[in-house]
Structure 1
Amino acid sequence: MEAKLLQSLHLTTWTGSDSVFPKPNNSMGLSTRFERKRRVNMLKCNLVQTVKPVTGRRASGLKVSCASQNSPASVLESETFTTEEDLVLKKKSEEIEPCLSGRCIYLVGMMGSGKTTIGQILAEVLGYSFFDSDKLIELSVGGTTVADIFKLHGEAFFRDNETEVLHKLSTMHRLVISTGGGAVVRPINWKYMHKGISVFIDVPLDALAQRLTAVGTASRPLLHHESGDAYTQTLKKLSKLWEVRSEAYSNAQVRVSLERIAAKLGHGDVCCVNPTQIAIEALIQIEDYLKK
């Protein structure tokens, strides 16, 4: 499958994944999914032929980057899969993986919601490959950053290439895809994402503002703000984006609410919820959706 994917998207592996993901503790009796050689979840791509930079009318969509750089340590960063949460994650992934029938999983949500971190965890435990759509767009235009694409070419150019990337990925199987925050505003993108299973990572805006303020917003073209308190300005910008996107996020087939997870775990603050716990909840909600 992976060879087909690489051939279709003209992708080549970036580095051996043994240097990226830790080897499990064999004494735990983990499944062969954890014992097989790790495949790279971040792939270098040359999309010049199959996903060419495209131009078109300006879309109404808004762009954000999706990685949360200050997320708590996850199962991918630990030396062994030893915690109770890791075992729950492994068990749930083994239960749900056959039911997916190879369908892709698309993670949607506001910037800073942790889609990249959660996506990497889900891809690893399900034996899927991981893609960050923003990174693919950057590579398709010669490695230009999202911020520079907005500055040099405008948002419409970015949105057109985002749609083309999602179109190509929708023809594949066994992928977890982290999408940009604004991918949801174009109906055509939902057509592609609904070929798989779309999962909305729902994080309160104040928590997002805290996280984004802590890591900085220089790489996020839609969060540039004037002088003043950084948190207040970031929350204000996020609130405006939410007004535009909230209805679109409701198109997701699965919703993963951090407030709900925090309540279940007895946490008073959603910031106490770690990526492994979010990944577990995502698998539970996906399983419930598949049972409908």
Structure 2
Amino acid sequence: MKKKNRKRKKNMQQEDEEEGEREGKKRTLNNVSSFFLVILMKEKEKTKRGEEISIKKEGGREEKETRRKKKKRKRKKKRKHGERRRKRGTQKKRETTQEIEQKSKFPEIEQKSKGSEIAGMMGSGKTTVGKILSQVLCYSFFDSDTLIEEEVDGTSVADIFKHYGETFFRDKETEVLRKLSMTHRHVISTGGGAVVRPINWKYMHKGVSIWLDVPVEALAQRITAVGTNSRPLLHSEVGDAYTKTFMRLSSLFEERSQAYANANAKVSLENIAAKLGQKDVSDLTPTAIAIEALEQILGFLKSEDGYC
């Protein structure tokens, strides 16, 4: 009997010891978990403060880098990239100007012309070509649509059409052209529909008006590629993007073609492509178009005896 009691007591002691070991292991495990949890929280805090977050290898040695340093390095790289792009852009402009200088006699235009007004359908490249002409002639460049947007507190042309109507826009357009006609040494990119009002031609003929004549197919391709969101006169059509754009542009061109013919000079992209041996007018560079525009302006000035 006493042996059984001693055995039972011994078993109970072993169980207590085993239970104690299990509890000790649990406490140890909890302590370790808490320790790593604290470390993890500290690392998160470091990350928030922009402290050490990454390690990169350079030249065989490890270098710790902070978030702040990383951002600074990226900004510096982006700034250098921007500087290279600006240099390339400046060089390209310089080459464009030099190319035109070699192929045109623009000093005569500077002496005889008060300015130039560029007309044409939407998407014909009036702004791009106009900026090149202004650089070559050392004239000021104006975009009539941009000036109208500024007059209406920065409202886009599409929103002006939507909220105020086309008549309101055309009135603003006429007023802008009237003001610009009183200036000298300018190149003006007009809106595609500026030609529909006879009064606008009175102001546009103060200088040499140029019509950029681009095939409707090429216009439809250009506009479809960039979207019609900024083209209020193209929003009402439904169907395939290219087809609806082509149909609407064809209708607009039919309405305006006689008005465009009032320009003093016509720059036909089809003729330029034929002279250069190119099949697609979309392959023509803005420089080639600007050179033709300068030649057409010069031809007009020579035909107008005493023009000033």
- Please report the TM-score for the alignment, with normalisation by the length of structure 1: 0.71
Q: Residues 37-77 of structure 1: CA distance to partner in whole angstroms, max 9, x if unpaired?
A: xxxxxxxxxxxxxxxxxxxxxxxxxxxxxxxxxxxxxxx94
Work out the CA distance in 2 between the residues paired with 1:262 and 1:78. 27
Work out the CA distance in 2 between the residues paired with 1:154 and 1:81. 38
- Of 154, 157, 175, 2:186 maps to 175
Corresponding position: 1:203 with 2:211: no
Equivalences for residues 131-280 of structure 1 within 5 A: 131-280=142-291
Given that 2:118 and 2:187 are in contact with CA atoms closer than 8 Å, whether structure 1 keeps it comes out as yes
1:32 counterpart residue number: none
Question: Rg: which structure is higher?
Answer: 2
Equivalences for residues 71-90 of structure 1 within 5 A: 77=89, 79-80=91-92, 86-90=97-101
Secondary structure in 1 matching 2:263:
coil
Work out the CA distance in 2 between the residues paired with 1:243 and 1:81. 36
Deviation, structure 1 residue 93: 5.3
Q: Residues 150-176 of structure 1: CA distance to partner in whole angstroms, max 9, x if unpaired?
A: 111100000001000000000000110
Work out the CA distance in 1 between the residues paired with 2:199 and 2:211. 17
1:95 counterpart residue number: 107
Pair 93,123 (structure 1): closer, same or farther in 2 beyond 3 Å: farther
Pair 81,143 (structure 1): closer, same or farther in 2 beyond 3 Å: closer
Work out the CA distance in 2 between the residues paired with 1:170 and 1:78. 30
Deviation, structure 1 residue 141: 1.0
Given that 1:149 and 1:158 are in contact with CA atoms closer than 8 Å, whether structure 2 keeps it comes out as yes
Identity %: 61
The runs of 5 or more residues in structure 2 that have no matched partner are: 1-82, 304-308
Given that 2:237 and 2:248 are in contact with CA atoms closer than 8 Å, whether structure 1 keeps it comes out as no
1:118 counterpart residue number: 129
Pair 87,213 (structure 1): closer, same or farther in 2 beyond 3 Å: same
Given that 2:123 and 2:223 are in contact with CA atoms closer than 8 Å, whether structure 1 keeps it comes out as yes
Pair 218,93 (structure 1): closer, same or farther in 2 beyond 3 Å: farther
The runs of 5 or more residues in structure 1 that have no matched partner are: 1-18, 24-75
Given that 2:109 and 2:298 are in contact with CA atoms closer than 8 Å, whether structure 1 keeps it comes out as no
Deviation, structure 1 residue 80: 4.4
- Of 261, 282, 292, 2:293 maps to 282
Secondary structure in 2 matching 1:181:
coil
Deviation, structure 1 residue 95: 3.4
Residue type of the alignment partner of 1:287: L
Given that 1:93 and 1:126 are in contact with CA atoms closer than 8 Å, whether structure 2 keeps it comes out as no
Secondary structure in 2 matching 1:201:
strand
2:5 counterpart residue number: none
Secondary structure in 2 matching 1:108:
strand
Work out the CA distance in 2 between the residues paired with 1:98 and 1:226. 44
Residue type of the alignment partner of 1:280: I
Secondary structure in 1 matching 2:193:
helix
Pair 93,78 (structure 1): closer, same or farther in 2 beyond 3 Å: farther
